[in-house]
Amino acid sequence: MSQTARKIPFTKMSGSGNDFIVIDNRDGKIDQDYAGKLARLACRRKLSAGADGLILIEKDAELDFSWRFFNADGSEAEMCGNGARCAARFAVLNAVTDKERFSFRTLAGIVEAQVKGQTARVAMPKPHGLESDIVLSLDGQRLSLDFINTGVPHAVCFTDSSEKLEAMDVDGLGRAVRRHERFQPAGTNADFAFVSGPHTMRIRTFERGVEGETLACGTGCIAAALVASARNYTESPVEVLTRSGETLTIHFEKISQGSELIFSAVYLEGDARVVYEAELWDETLRA
């Protein structure tokens, strides 16, 4: 697709505060080389539609569809939990699939989805890489955190009160964790959480690719719920209150195999809302 194309139809969607530009690209109108640049230009706040990420819905020879997901900075990501839920509802609303339960392909693997009304539930790829008690030195401050990959990497730090979580400098501290040498070269997302009960917690997330705090992060909610469970703070299901005020529910199974914890049957469930449908004009897609 050339940059001089006049209009690109899209749907603006919000998954518990994560917002996305979703485009039906089954006709291949947006080529592979242009997709990252389109994400950077279209996701700019105030200068364009603005969003945390861009989702392209594409054909798949074996599954109901596949997607390509791009962060606001134009980088392609393996997975986005809230984006996956929005993609699932978009597919139902736009007759990409006529099934209530279906599956689609991502770089992190095949995602199974179910949509009922505004609620979308997705089965996430198997988490891996669980590590506990990682200590970082950040400008003389020692920070203890845990790590898990829930489709994308997440470092999770727990606070001991809701007030401390509210007062935390998530942008500053999150950026330092995200770029710390311990997590290079890919970097990591950074989550800060407070466990309020065995089935409830609160979270704030600095997202890699967005390069700032977002109102919600599905894979971050999963990461926080799982590492909290690994510490025996929580058990399934866990309701996670996000910065947007919306709640995401995490379902999972935990099995001990010797000294190793295995998480499986991980589901992310919550609201996936259509904000509006519109068209991107070429004049807002100019650098």
Give burial (CB, 10 Å; 0-12/13-18/19+) of 9: exposed
Task: Report how far residue 122's alpha carbon sits from residue 111's, in angstroms, rounded to the nearest whole number.
Answer: 7
Identify residue 50 by its one-letter amino acid code. Answer: G
Identify residue 148 by its one-letter amino acid code. Answer: I
Q: Nearest Cα to 27, choosing from 84, 96, 80? A: 96
Has 217 been annotated as catalytic?
yes
Identify residue 214 by its one-letter amino acid code. Answer: T
DSSP collapsed to 3 states, 131-197: EEEEEEEECCEEEEEEEEECCCEEEEEECCCHHHHHHCCHHHHHHHHHCCHHHCCCCCEEEEEEEEE
Has 221 been annotated as catalytic?
no
Among residues 43, 86, 157, 217, the one annotated as catalytic is 217
Task: Report how far residue 23's alpha carbon sits from residue 192's, in angstroms, rounded to the nearest whole number.
Answer: 32
For residue 127 the two structure tokens come to 């988490």
Among residues 80, 86, 157, 221, the one annotated as catalytic is 80
For residue 281 the two structure tokens come to 């004009």
Query: What residues are labeled active site?
Result: 80, 217
